[in-house]
Amino acid sequence: MERQEIIDGLVEILKTVRTIDQEKLQNLTEETDFIADLKTPSTEMINIAAKAEQKFDVEFEDDDIDDLGSTVKDIVDLIIRTKERA
Amino acid sequence: MAAEGRRVAIVGMGGAFPNCKDLSEFKQKLFAGESLIRDWDEARAHGKNIRSTVSGYITEAEMGLEAIYSTLAAGYPETYIDHLGRIPDGNLSTADVGSIWSMIGSQEAIKMAGWSDAETESEQTGVVIGSGGAGHVILRTAWHNFFELKRKTRIAGSHTVDRAMVYRDAANVSCLIKNKGVCEAIGSACATGLGNIGYAYRLIKFGIQDRVVAGGVEGTSLETFIGFDAMQVLSKGFAAGESSRPFDTSRNGFVCSFGCGIVALEEYEMAKARGAKILAVIDNYHNNSDGAGNMFFPSFSGQKRLWKGLIGDLQIKPEVVKVHGTSTPVGDAIELLSVVDIMGDEGYHISAPKSQFGHMLGAAGAVELITSILMLEKQQVLPCLNSDVLNPEPESFQKSPEWEGPEKPLEGYRHLISKEIVRKEINQIVCLNYGFGGTNSAMSISKHL
């Protein structure tokens, strides 16, 4: 799965999170920080991770979620790493 | 103890009311003598597994709300959209339906009160709102996915705590209005609504806060309904509008309803000084327990002590007694006789507004206080719908040698209970509510002169 394909899928998830400023999703890059740039409430991060598991058909380890950073790159890396592990 | 000279005014109100889009429609329908109770399709969908199918319920659409369902857990409302743009998305994300109603009701009450942002956000402004809350779809779905479907905790997302915790309504309102004073919830079953307002009254009366947003809420929830349905205490066998029938001989249970009542309270002299419209003045609040060791059965002596505590050395001679009047066989009889024992049998009317909208549980006392404020404003006593025939025979407990209350059967007090609206001078109303566990609450309010 290509990284851009994952980012596009993440954008689809983020569109469903009503507490995120939707306009900022237009310029999303791997460096975009969910909390600093998108002002995502920290409590929403686990919801985004759970929806990513469903969308990309993966199951994250709890430790990986605990250690997850807050940039788009961090979650793209985790999805790829988890897929490779499977 | 009460701080010298402090009185408490009611300066705003709002909420969510069955089959009504807002407070103004609620007022219009009440004083048109309408019933707000309907057949509930959500209950009816469960066929023979549920006894009662009538309720004063409120749908999401009726409140201008829409649930956004999770893609992870079937039937789980992940958040809500407010199509009327009242509540920001961030606040909606931490709220269940009842908390959203509380936020909407608080906005309305504060607007009516005319508080400035500085006043609302002050350290002297508190929030005290509670719910009866026996569970709702948030908890049910979270638990079902974890316990039955054996799925991870994160499937229900990170908002099950804030949307289900006991003081969720108060917390959500506080986060919305950004007050810096007290934020708490009082729970006392079906006395919760009046109990929260009574506690808020004391906060002001005792000099702890100058303003409090207070009330009770019970979000529409089949989860709550089925618990009472199982107890066989809900009305059954009548058409919707005839199912809540306080004091009538054929009453066989209460109508489980939902709603929200919020009032804005303010220290009287402060409200007066800023030229606020004072809807009513609270004369006193008193609450107690039966001390009878019985979770469910009402206590004649407990209710009499409640009255004595309320009256104290004050002049309390209401033209209307707004009773709890649930339409249950024993509750209504004990209550009517305790009122008569204290008040005598003339000079006042009894109002049982649950005849029009059912029993809103944790919201009941708050919505019925609002109903009483409306009676003060309109100078009309609301009708006790369906109170067709009062028992001409004494109740079985009246025949007991231990009984020390009035001996006449309920029919002897027919003149106190009107099926039609009564127009008369109303200066004072006493509001009564009771709850499981033998808890009793009473508040007296007066017209501002």
Tens digit of each residue's pLDDT (9 = 90 or more) over B120-179: 999 999 999 999 986 799 999 999 999 999 999 999 999 999 999 999 999 999 999 999
Taking CA atoms, B180 is separated from A84, B46, B224, B311, in Å, by 51, 45, 32, 34
Question: In chain A, which residues have their Cβ closer than 8 Å to the Cβ of B163?
Answer: none
Q: How many CB atoms lie within 10 A of CB B149?
A: 11
Smallest CA–CA distance from B157 into chain A, residue: A47
CB B405 within 8 A of CB B416: no
Three-state DSSP state, B433: strand
pLDDT of residue A61: 96
Number of residues written out for chain B = 449
% of chain B surpassing 70 pLDDT:
100
The minimal CB distance from A18 to the residues B71, B79, B157 is found for: B79
DSSP state for residue B208 in the 8-state scheme: S
Q: How many CB atoms lie within 10 A of CB B101?
A: 30
**Cβ–Cβ of B158/A51 closer than 8 Å?**
no
**Cα of A2 to nearest chain B Cα, Å:** 24
Look at phi and psi of residue B416 and say left if phi exceeds 0, alpha if psi is from -120 to 50, else beta: alpha
Smallest CA–CA distance from B88 into chain A, residue: A19
Catalytic annotation present for B83: no
Mean pLDDT of B32-40: 98
Question: In chain B, which residues have their Cβ closer than 8 Å to the Cβ of A65?
Answer: 154
- pLDDT classification of B449: cutoffs 50, 70, 90: confident
**Cβ–Cβ of B71/A44 closer than 8 Å?**
no
Give the H/E segment covering residue B272: helix B268-273
Nearest to B179 by CA among B130, B268, B118: B118
Mean pLDDT of B326-339: 97
Smallest CA–CA distance from A51 into chain B, residue: B72
**In whole angstroms, what is the distance from residue B8 CA to residue B318 CA?**
18
- pLDDT classification of B5: cutoffs 50, 70, 90: confident
**Cβ–Cβ of B72/A50 closer than 8 Å?**
yes
pLDDT of residue B2: 75
Average the pLDDT over each of A52-56, B61-65, B135-139 and give the range with the smallest value.
B135-139
**In this structure, what token pair is assigned to residue B122?**
């002050």
Mean pLDDT of A9-22: 92
**Cβ–Cβ of B158/A54 closer than 8 Å?**
no
**Cβ–Cβ of B157/A46 closer than 8 Å?**
yes
Q: How many CB atoms lie within 10 A of CB B44?
A: 11
Catalytic annotation present for B415: no
pLDDT of residue B3: 80
**Cβ–Cβ of B93/A51 closer than 8 Å?**
no
Give the H/E segment covering residue B369: helix B364-378
Three-state DSSP state, B444: strand
Mean pLDDT of B382-391: 98
DSSP state for residue B141 in the 8-state scheme: H
pLDDT of residue B178: 98
Mean pLDDT of B277-292: 98
Look up the pTM and report it: 0.97
Residue B65 identity: L
Question: In chain A, which residues have their Cβ closer than 8 Å to the Cβ of B90?
Answer: 19, 41
**Cβ–Cβ of B154/A49 closer than 8 Å?**
yes
The pLDDT mean for chain B works out to 97
pLDDT of residue B334: 98
Chain B residues within 8 Å of chain A (Cβ atoms): 68, 71-72, 78-79, 81, 89-90, 92-93, 152, 154-155, 157-159
The secondary structure of B161-176 as a DSSP string is TTTTSTTHHHHHHHHH
pLDDT of residue B238: 98
Residue range B190-204, pLDDT digits in tens? 999 999 999 999 999
The minimal CB distance from B154 to the residues A18, A41, A46 is found for: A46
Residue range B406-448, pLDDT digits in tens? 999 999 999 999 999 999 999 999 999 999 999 999 999 999 9
**Cα of B14 to nearest chain A Cα, Å:** 27
CB B56 within 8 A of CB B357: yes
**In whole angstroms, what is the distance from residue B379 CA to residue A76 CA?**
67
The minimal CB distance from A47 to the residues B89, B152, B158 is found for: B158
Instruction: Indicate if the pLDDT at residue B102 is higher than 70.
Output: yes
Quote the ipTM score. 0.91
**Cβ–Cβ of A43/B159 closer than 8 Å?**
yes
pLDDT of residue B399: 96
Question: In chain B, which residues have their Cβ closer than 8 Å to the Cβ of A47?
Answer: 78, 154, 157-159
- Asked if A64 is an interface residue toward chain B (Cβ–Cβ < 8 A), one would say no
Instruction: Indicate if the pLDDT at residue A57 is higher than 90.
Output: yes
Give the H/E segment covering residue B268: helix B268-273
pLDDT of residue B1: 66
Instruction: Indicate if the pLDDT at residue B308 is higher than 80.
Output: yes
% of chain A surpassing 90 pLDDT:
86
- Asked if A61 is an interface residue toward chain B (Cβ–Cβ < 8 A), one would say no
Question: In chain A, which residues have their Cβ closer than 8 Å to the Cβ of B158?
Answer: 43-47
Work out the angle at residue B30's Cα, subtended by the Cα atoms of residues B27 and B35, and round it to the nearest 5 degrees. Answer: 140
Instruction: Indicate if the pLDDT at residue A20 is higher than 70.
Output: yes
Residue range B74-92, pLDDT digits in tens? 999 999 999 999 999 999 9
- Asked if A43 is an interface residue toward chain B (Cβ–Cβ < 8 A), one would say yes
The residue of B154, B155, B161, B165 whose CB has the most chain A CBs within 10 angstroms, and thus the best one to mutate to test that interface, is B154
pLDDT of residue B126: 98
* Per-position b or e across A2-39, b if 16+ CB within 10 A of its CB: eeeebbebbeebbeebbbbeeeebeebeeebebeebbe
**In whole angstroms, what is the distance from residue B300 CA to residue B22 CA?**
37
**Cβ–Cβ of A47/B157 closer than 8 Å?**
yes
Instruction: Indicate if the pLDDT at residue B339 is higher than 80.
Output: yes
The secondary structure of chain A as a DSSP string is --HHHHHHHHHHHHTT-TTS-GGGGGG--TT-BTTTTT---GGGHHHHHHHHHHHTT----HHHHHT--SBHHHHHHHHHHHHHH-
Give the H/E segment covering residue B106: helix B97-113
**In this structure, what token pair is assigned to residue B406?**
């009035």
The residue of B93, B151, B153 whose CB has the most chain A CBs within 10 angstroms, and thus the best one to mutate to test that interface, is B93
**In whole angstroms, what is the distance from residue B297 CA to residue B397 CA?**
12
Work out the angle at residue A77's Cα, subtended by the Cα atoms of residues A75 and A79, and round it to the nearest 5 degrees. Answer: 70
Handedness of CA B187, B190, B191, B197 (dihedral sign): positive
**In whole angstroms, what is the distance from residue B406 CA to residue B399 CA?**
11
**Cα of A68 to nearest chain B Cα, Å:** 15
* Per-position b or e across B103-117, b if 16+ CB within 10 A of its CB: bbbbbbbbebbbbee
DSSP β-bridge partners for residue B260: B16, B217
Residue from B20, B183, B260, B324 carrying the catalytic annotation: B324
First to last CA, chain B: 26
Catalytic annotation present for B324: yes
User: What are φ and ψ of residue B306, in 5° steps?
Assistant: -60, -50
The minimal CB distance from B72 to the residues A19, A41, A51 is found for: A51
Smallest CA–CA distance from B80 into chain A, residue: A18
